[in-house]
């Protein structure tokens, strides 16, 4: 067991890797009433092709998300009912690379920790239950289909990473979900839901020593799975020629999304986080409300408050997506290109803007420190070393404009781009 | 700690050392009048993005970054019959800032004074360029609401629920037509009137010295005496002969079914706690009858939920479904309501729901924003409930009371947003 102190913020993190491989992180928040716990599995929507003990497996799209749904459904009860007896709230979500199960409660922490660990570690799958889940998931997929921003987002990722596991929505499609059978669910579970592939993060009202004892005792009763040799296969083929793909849908104004696929190598651990923070600052220097470039596009009515960008850096891929509703879609694409092209040369001149942006980010991190949701959401237990919000602040403080410039050049010199435009038939 | 700043101007400070940030909330309020909806919405947009000192969105934003990423927002809200312009700020405590000689609280109040009392004007009107940009942005926003189908459906339901009652039935941000007609001069005159006549309530929470906050608030020249005429906050809809139904076809993958029921029980009424628990039982939680039966058992909807608004005396239900299942889902919704009326649910479910309400109530203490919202609501309703009392009242709710509440639900409006494209390969 190891304790990491963050004296500036009066915070600490306790880390313990248990003998079965499960890593437990506890970040107490004295004075808080509530506790939040997240059990993360290093397994997400892209992990559909892999070799286990030398055997190559390919599974239908949406399997990780399907498994997440199925974990709650037990022989004669739903896991929500167990949490509810204590008044806890629970939820789960699946991303491209992780699956997370969480609860928050002001009461009965031990009982809820046992519920969380047991329901994820003791599965109950039957053919009939697998079949029944498909109806709800179809409705969930249709709900995402109804959300045009969501559609634009997944279409641009599909074009950045054609014919790959990233090219399908996290939930899969009605067709691929229909292909999922009991054996697929069991195989995915046995391959990925293993203690060494999971992490438990707890924050809020918690006595770390006591909670650690509860968790160790809970894990003692569980069999350790047989060792296996796992190789994930996420080989992305090269991007096709840059083009604007158009879709006709019923939208008020055209929705344009621009994607940048990173083709450079991102370091792991803290250096990876430094890369992420640097790229975020790079985009802020040109595309946040603080930037003169943004201000000009805003005044020219090429963008408005619907403009947003995000950068995703995950296991085996990293990309940026910039999007806007605009009546001037062609101008938008042209202007964004010309700004992105000049970033490597212009960024070194933004000295005062860089200081401003660091100020802003520092404040944003301090704001997150008051929220258990933000603290646990920001935590990543799968990048080799634990990195908390407080570590991110330390990385930010050390970051120089020269670092950001170097990282921006590394990203942009190899990045490839695609565009998606959703417009109504009468938007022209 | 409560302070009387001037007639009609109140300050409430909630000192706490639990958080690393401080929050300020300034509410300017008056009785709802739909003729002001578009004006107040556009005013909020202008006050958020410009002032004489910071003449563009970029300059406002840079000032905020300079104050360690302080967040600042202006929005319009309605609390029952109360139309509200709400100004909010969050900023980090000096303790956590590298530059120890700064007094961020004083800087933040100076900033607020600039934004509220010194708008970006040309003569007697808002600067025209800035006015036009934000007017256009608002119009674009209103036109794009139809893209967000669930929200669009909610607005249509509201309109149907309050027929011929634009004060409660129309969208709080106004309409495209109303926005187009506003002139810069007229809007500035309206703003002056708002500053002169609105009731003002300021709340500040965090690690602050209340006396110092009071001094800061006294710096505002516009926060002076005004006369306030009390009015009824809760909304009672006009009686209707029969429930109204409307449907509209859209291009999309899913249909959205929305229902509005009248439930004449308001915050502060003796049945309020029973009404709140009724909603959790009906569709307000993941244990509710709608969630467990329509979603989990019959797989008819991924999203189905109910809401209870205790200032409007209204319960709404919304579900994302396949168009072909509409009749089935409607029957199931009314079946779940009947189950509550006849008491057909387990004791453990009711105990669990009470437990989870209490658990959530205790958890709210960890969110400064939630604490301040709660404080504000109790203040405008002039009802003060201690945490112990709140929990005791939840515990005391009986099956009979819930049954009585459920019987009072009266369907007023059903709106369906229909998409016939959806494919359901299972059926």
Which tens digit of pLDDT belongs to each residue from A265-313?
999 889 999 999 999 999 999 999 999 999 999 999 999 999 999 999 9
- From chain B residues 348-367, the ones with a CB under 8 A of any chain A CB are 348, 351-353, 355-360, 362-363, 365-367
CB B55 within 8 A of CB B46: no
Predicted confidence (pLDDT) at residue A84 exceeds the cutoff of 50: yes
Name the class of domain B244-418: alpha beta
B136 vs A: CB within 8 A: yes
Predicted confidence (pLDDT) at residue A386 exceeds the cutoff of 90: no
- From chain A residues 323-382, the ones with a CB under 8 A of any chain B CB are 325, 327, 356-357, 359-364, 366-367, 369-372
H helices present in B303-346, as ranges: 326-342
The pLDDT of residue B299 is 83
Predicted confidence (pLDDT) at residue A427 exceeds the cutoff of 60: no
Q: What is the distance in angstroms between the Cα of B68 and the nearest Cα belonging to chain A?
A: 5
Predicted confidence (pLDDT) at residue B386 exceeds the cutoff of 50: yes
H helices present in A46-146, as ranges: 63-71, 79-86, 109-121, 127-146
Q: How confident is the model at residue B302 (pLDDT cuts 50, 70, 90)?
A: confident
The pLDDT of residue B423 is 45
Residue intervals of chain B classified under CATH 3.30.830.10 are: 2-218, 244-418
Q: What is the distance in angstroms between the Cα of B75 and the nearest Cα belonging to chain A?
A: 14
Question: Chain A residue with minimal CA distance to B422?
Answer: A142
The pLDDT of residue B182 is 98
CATH number of B2-218: 3.30.830.10
Answer with the residue of higher pLDDT: A240 or A60. Answer: A60
- Residue B302: list chain A partners with CB under 8 A: 136-137, 139-140, 142-143
Q: How confident is the model at residue B421 (pLDDT cuts 50, 70, 90)?
A: low
A37 vs B: CB within 8 A: no
Residue range B91-111, pLDDT digits in tens:
999 999 987 788 999 999 999
The pLDDT of residue B426 is 36
A292: enclosing H helix or E strand: helix A292-299
- Comparing CB atoms, the residue among B18, B137, B145 nearest residue A305 is B137
> CA angle at residue A234 from A228 to A235, to 5 degrees?
130
The pLDDT of residue B427 is 32
The pLDDT of residue A109 is 98
Selected residue of B60, B62, B427 to mutate for chain A interface (largest A Cβ count, 10 A): B62
Q: What is the distance in angstroms between the Cα of A104 and the nearest Cα belonging to chain B?
A: 9
Predicted confidence (pLDDT) at residue B422 exceeds the cutoff of 60: no
B3 vs A: CB within 8 A: no
- Those residues with Cβ within 8 angstroms of residue B138's Cβ, 6 or more apart along the chain or in another chain: B41, B42, B45, B173, B179
Answer with the residue of higher pLDDT: B335 or B419. Answer: B335
B106 phi and psi angles, rounded to 5 deg:
-65, -40
The pLDDT of residue A158 is 95
The pLDDT of residue B5 is 97
Mean pLDDT of A189-205: 97
- Residue B425: list chain A partners with CB under 8 A: 138, 174-175, 178
CB-CB under 8 Å, A360 with B65:
yes
Please report, rounded to a whole number, the percentage of residues in chain A having pLDDT higher than 90: 87
Q: What is the distance in angstroms between the Cα of B206 and the nearest Cα belonging to chain A?
A: 11
Buried b (16+ CB within 10 A) or exposed e, B177-207: ebbeebebeebbebbeebbeebbbbbbbbbb
The pLDDT of residue A428 is 52
- From chain A residues 159-198, the ones with a CB under 8 A of any chain B CB are 174-175, 178
Q: What is the distance in angstroms between the Cα of A85 and the nearest Cα belonging to chain B?
A: 5
- Residue A300: list chain B partners with CB under 8 A: none
The pLDDT of residue B352 is 93
The pLDDT of residue B296 is 81
Residue range A250-260, pLDDT digits in tens:
899 999 999 99
Kindly list the domain boundaries of chain A, sorted by start residue. Answer: 2-232, 244-423
Selected residue of B19, B20, B255, B354 to mutate for chain A interface (largest A Cβ count, 10 A): B20
Q: What's the CATH architecture for A244-423?
A: 2-Layer Sandwich (3.30)
CB B16 within 8 A of CB B368: yes
Superfamily name and number for A2-232 = Metalloenzyme, LuxS/M16 peptidase-like (3.30.830.10)
Question: Chain B residue with minimal CA distance to A90?
Answer: B286
B109: enclosing H helix or E strand: helix B104-117
Q: Count of residues for chain A? A: 428
- Comparing CB atoms, the residue among A132, A250, A289 nearest residue B58 is A289
Tell me the C-alpha distance between B398 and B208, whole Å: 42
Mean pLDDT of B154-166: 97
Mean pLDDT of B335-344: 97
CB-CB under 8 Å, A135 with B359:
no
Mean pLDDT of B87-94: 96
């Amino acid at each position: 067991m190891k304790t990491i102190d963050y004296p500036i913020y009066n915070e600490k993190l306790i880390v313990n890797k248990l003998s079965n491989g499960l890593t437990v992180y506890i970040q107490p928040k004295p004075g808080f009433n509530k506790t939040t716990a997240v059990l993360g599995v290093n397994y997400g929507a892209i992990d559909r092709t892999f070799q286990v003990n030398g055997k190559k497996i390919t599974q239908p799209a949406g399997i990780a998300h399907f498994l997440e749904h199925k974990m709650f459904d037990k022989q004669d009860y739903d896991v929500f009912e167990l949490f509810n007896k204590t008044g806890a709230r629970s939820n789960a979500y699946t991303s491209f690379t992780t699956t997370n199960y969480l609860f928050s409660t002001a009461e009965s922490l031990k009982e809820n920790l046992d519920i969380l660990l047991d329901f994820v570690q003791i599965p109950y799958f039957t053919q009939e239950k697998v079949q029944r889940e498909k109806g709800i998931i179809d409705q969930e997929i249709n709900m995402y289909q109804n959300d045009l921003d969501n559609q634009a987002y997944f279409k641009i990722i599909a074009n950045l990473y054609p014919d790959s596991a990233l090219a399908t929505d996290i939930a899969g499609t009605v067709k691929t979900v229909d292909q999922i059978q009991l054996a697929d669910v069991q195989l995915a579970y046995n391959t990925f839901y293993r203690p060494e592939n999971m992490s438990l993060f707890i924050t809020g009202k918690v006595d770390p020593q006591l909670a650690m004892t509860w968790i160790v005792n809970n894990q003692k009763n569980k069999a350790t799975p047989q060792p296996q040799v796992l190789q994930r296969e996420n080989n992305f083929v090269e991007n096709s020629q840059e083009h604007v793909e158009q879709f006709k849908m019923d939208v008020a104004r055209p929705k344009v999304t621009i994607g940048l696929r990173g083709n450079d190598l991102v370091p792991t651990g803290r250096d990876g986080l430094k890369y992420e923070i640097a790229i975020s600052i790079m985009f802020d220097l040109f595309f946040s409300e603080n930037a003169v470039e943004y201000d000009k596009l805003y005044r020219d009515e090429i963008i408005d408050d619907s403009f947003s960008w995000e950068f995703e850096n995950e296991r085996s891929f990293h990309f940026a997506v910039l999007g806007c509703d605009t009546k001037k879609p062609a101008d938008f694409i042209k202007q964004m290109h010309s700004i992105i092209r000049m970033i490597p040369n212009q960024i070194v001149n933004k000295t005062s803007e860089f200081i401003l942006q660091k100020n802003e980010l520092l404040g944003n991190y301090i704001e997150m420190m008051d929220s258990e949701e933000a603290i646990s959401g920001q935590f990543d237990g799968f990048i080799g070393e634990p990195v908390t919000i407080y570590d991110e602040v330390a990385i930010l403080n050390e970051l120089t404009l020269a670092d950001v410039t170097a990282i921006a050049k590394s990203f942009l010199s190899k990045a490839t781009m695609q565009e998606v435009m959703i417009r109504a038939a009468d938007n022209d | 700690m409560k302070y009387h700043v001037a007639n009609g101007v109140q300050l409430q400070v909630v000192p706490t050392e639990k958080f690393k940030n401080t929050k300020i909330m300034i509410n300017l309020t008056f009785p709802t009048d739909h003729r002001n909806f578009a004006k107040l919405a556009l005013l909020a947009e202008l006050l958020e993005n410009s002032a004489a000192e910071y003449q563009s969105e970029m300059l406002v934003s840079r000032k905020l970054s300079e104050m360690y990423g302080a967040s600042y927002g202006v929005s319009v809200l309605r609390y029952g019959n109360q139309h509200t312009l709400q100004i909010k700020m969050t900023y980090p405590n000096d303790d956590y800032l590298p530059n120890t000689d700064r007094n961020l609280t004083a800087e933040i109040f100076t900033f607020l004074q600039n934004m509220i009392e010194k708008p970006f004007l040309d003569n007697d009107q808002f600067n025209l360029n800035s006015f036009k940009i934000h007017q256009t942005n608002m119009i674009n926003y209103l036109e794009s609401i139809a893209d967000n189908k669930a929200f669009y459906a909610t607005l249509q339901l509201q309109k149907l629920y309050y027929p011929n009652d634009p004060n409660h039935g129309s969208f709080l941000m106004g309409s495209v037509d109303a926005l187009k007609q506003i002139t810069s001069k007229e809007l500035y005159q309206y703003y002056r009137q708002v500053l002169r006549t609105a009731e003002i309530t300021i709340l500040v929470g965090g690690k602050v010295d209340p006396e110092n906050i009071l001094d800061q608030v006294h710096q505002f020249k516009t926060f002076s005496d005004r006369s306030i005429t009390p009015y009824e906050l809760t909304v009672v809809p006009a009686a209707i002969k029969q429930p109204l139904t409307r449907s509209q076809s859209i291009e999309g993958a899913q249909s959205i079914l929305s229902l509005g029921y009248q439930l004449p029980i308001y915050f502060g009424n003796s049945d309020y706690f029973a009404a709140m628990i009724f909603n959790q039982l009906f569709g307000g939680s993941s244990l509710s009858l709608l969630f467990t039966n329509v979603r989990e058992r019959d797989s008819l909807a991924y999203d189905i939920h109910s809401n209870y608004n205790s200032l409007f005396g209204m319960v709404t239900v919304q579900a994302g479904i396949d168009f072909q299942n509409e009749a089935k889902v409607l029957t199931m919704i009314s079946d779940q309501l009947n189950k509550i009326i006849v008491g057909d649910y387990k004791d453990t479910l009711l105990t669990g729901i009470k437990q989870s309400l209490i658990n959530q109530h205790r958890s709210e203490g960890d969110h400064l924003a939630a604490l301040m919202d709660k404080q504000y609501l109790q203040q405008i309703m002039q009802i003060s409930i201690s945490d112990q009392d709140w929990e005791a009242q939840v515990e005391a709710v009986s099956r009979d009371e819930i049954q009585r509440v459920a019987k009072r639900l009266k369907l007023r409006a059903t709106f369906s947003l229909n998409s016939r494209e959806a494919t359901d390969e299972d059926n």
